[in-house]
Amino acid sequence: MTLAMEKQELQKVYNKQNGSWKLVKKDQSYNEQLSTIEETLSRFGLLKNEIKVYLHLARAGEMKAGEIAEAISLHRTETYRILRDLEKRGVVFSIFGETVKIHSCSLG
């Protein structure tokens, strides 16, 4: 699994309190931890883009599918398919209201 190695030295982090994104510098332990998480998710049978979607939700929290697609530069159609598949597996869940919002579930 090479997702962690593809990332740059800066990480985009969402602040729910003020609704903004900021860039923070990643250290080596962060990359090692992320790599371990990616490998574990891969052993659970998640594919590369499924892992990207799950990790983004885990970091950012509740989001709409279109926001996820834009944030991780993934086609909306593929994002919706991935979210549907992850929901069937119990990895994420949707909340229906005016808009559908997606949450990650704890895998522990």
What average pLDDT does the structure give for the chain?
82
Q: In which residue are the tokens 């994002």 written?
A: 79
How confident is the model at residue 107, as a pLDDT?
A: 57
Alpha-carbon dihedral of residues 74, 9, 15, 57, nearest 10 degrees? 40
pLDDT tens readout for residues 68-102: 999 999 999 999 999 999 999 888 888 875 556 66
Confidence of residue 5 (pLDDT cuts 50, 70, 90): very low
How confident is the model at residue 100, as a pLDDT?
A: 62
Overall average pLDDT of the 44-61 stretch: 92
How confident is the model at residue 98, as a pLDDT?
A: 55
Structural domains of the chain, count: 1
Q: What is the pTM of this model?
A: 0.68
Domain extent for 9: 3-104
> Are the beta carbons of 98 and 64 closer than 8 angstroms?
no
- Does residue 31 have a pLDDT over 90? no
How confident is the model at residue 91, as a pLDDT?
A: 87
Read off the CATH number of the domain in which 77 is found: 1.10.10.10
